Amino acid sequence: MRLIGWAIALAAAGLTPAAAGAQAPAPSQTAATTATPPAGTAQDATKPDAAQPAIVYGSVGHAIPTPGIGEPDGRKGLQYQVTPIGEEAAAFHNNWLLTLCAIISVFVLALLLFAIIRFRRGANPTPSRNSHNTLIEVVWTLVPVLILVSIAIPSIRLLRHQYTPPRADLTVKVTGHQWYWSYELPDYGVSFDSYMLKEANDPTRQANQRARDPRDGPPLLAVDNRLVIPAGKVVKFIVTADDVIHSFAMPAFWIKQDANPGQLHETWAKVDRPGVYFGQCSELCGARHGFMPIAIEVVPQAQFAEWVGKNGGHMPGAQPAAAAAPTAETAAPAANATPEPATNQAATAQN
Ligand SMILES: [Cu+2]
């Protein structure tokens, strides 16, 4: 009996809140230690934040975003568009579709009010027995058809413009991962990963991850390594994923392209206005789906060349940079991009 008593006491001790409390941090610790640190930030895990190399805001890759452009600012409607396709689509939506919706809504409301008042029992005690009126029937068939045609023509024209891109000046391969993006500029020898910048007080932030500064961009949208593209050039995005389905979405460019494992999808953008633009993964891709933002910085051509050089790349025709480090970095994402069939199926099933 005494033995059983001891056994019960020991079991109870194992289940006390204190014991549970001691075990509780384990999952978060595991998550923190297994999370991949941001690659390419050249930050030393052994040094505290203060000892990390200072970021020069305003320099290429660290331009300060303009509030209200390329980021949500609480406005109703579409973000300010900076690509020809975005401008065409926004004009179609704002000038034609919204006007049409408003006219139809007001017309239907007016008809309803007229019928309710004019034909109420008090004003119209003996209802009409008419059941057909050829003219009205022709009108209410023909008018909606004409409305649909007036929507279809600009809509199909927009699709045609969107899917017949001009010749690309630059190709960027975009790969979605759980839960970050990686970018590769194959013609320039540049490839890197891009992670969301966590807030300073975020308990999941590692010692070697720098915290978000307001100059990096809004919370949940700022990233450690932005994709930098030249202004006024046609950029072709080859979009794919290496685990589950993600979606590469950049509202100010009118881009939303699914990133599927084992498939290459293509989209494009030509941005004339230099600036910083933010987007997000737009396909539910797992637990941290909401924490894999996209940040693209558009810069003049000279600054783009500077950024390529800084990232160990080279402009086409120029000799590759002497540093050997980027070569290894370039090889890593290529290996990641090779999809493993088994993982893929499991991943797709998850979606
Ligand atoms: Cu995703």
Ordered domains of the chain (ranges, CATH): 72-119+137-164 (1.10.287.90), 170-350 (2.60.40.420)
Residues of the chain above pLDDT 70, percent: 75
Q: What is the pLDDT of residue 262?
A: 95
Q: What is the pLDDT of residue 131?
A: 87
- pLDDT tops 80 at residue 161: yes
Mean pLDDT computed over 193-221: 91
Cβ atoms within 10 A of the Cβ of 183, count? 22
Cα–ligand 1 centroid distance for 309 (angstroms) = 29
- pLDDT tops 70 at residue 26: no
Instruction: Using DSSP bridges, classify how beta strands 265-270 and 227-230 pair: parallel, antiparallel or unpaired.
Output: unpaired
Q: How many residues does the chain have?
A: 351
Mean pLDDT of the chain: 81
Q: What is the pLDDT of residue 241?
A: 96
Give residue-wise pLDDT tens across range 56-91.
898 899 999 999 899 998 888 899 999 999 999 999
Cα–ligand 1 centroid distance for 300 (angstroms) = 30
> 37-46, 212-221, 248-257, 288-297: lowest mean pLDDT where?
37-46
Cα–ligand 1 centroid distance for 306 (angstroms) = 30
Identify the band that residue 207 occupies on the pLDDT scale cut at 50, 70 and 90.
confident
Q: What is the pLDDT of residue 261?
A: 96
Identify the band that residue 44 occupies on the pLDDT scale cut at 50, 70 and 90.
very low
Cα–ligand 1 centroid distance for 100 (angstroms) = 35
Q: What is the pLDDT of residue 220?
A: 94
Q: What is the pLDDT of residue 206?
A: 86
Cα–ligand 1 centroid distance for 45 (angstroms) = 26
Which distant-in-sequence residues (6+ apart) come within 8 Å of 228 by Cβ? 60, 61, 296, 297, 298, 299, 303, 304, 307
Cα–ligand 1 centroid distance for 292 (angstroms) = 6
Identify the band that residue 316 occupies on the pLDDT scale cut at 50, 70 and 90.
confident
Cα–ligand 1 centroid distance for 176 (angstroms) = 6
Residues of the chain above pLDDT 90, percent: 64
Cα–ligand 1 centroid distance for 333 (angstroms) = 17
Cα–ligand 1 centroid distance for 347 (angstroms) = 12
Mean pLDDT computed over 29-45: 41
Q: What is the pLDDT of residue 40?
A: 39
Identify the band that residue 232 occupies on the pLDDT scale cut at 50, 70 and 90.
very high
Distance CA 89, CA 95 (A): 10
Q: What is the pLDDT of residue 166?
A: 94
Q: What is the pLDDT of residue 55?
A: 83
- Give the number of C-alpha atoms closer than 13 A to the C-alpha of residue 196, restricted to the C-beta side: 25
The DSSP-derived string for 281-300 is: E-S--STTGGG-EEEEEEE-
Continuous H helices in 45-133 = 84-91, 98-118
Q: What is the pLDDT of residue 130?
A: 84
- pLDDT tops 50 at residue 331: no
Distance CA 313, CA 315 (A): 7
The closest alpha carbon to 299, from 234, 225, 229, 252, belongs to 229
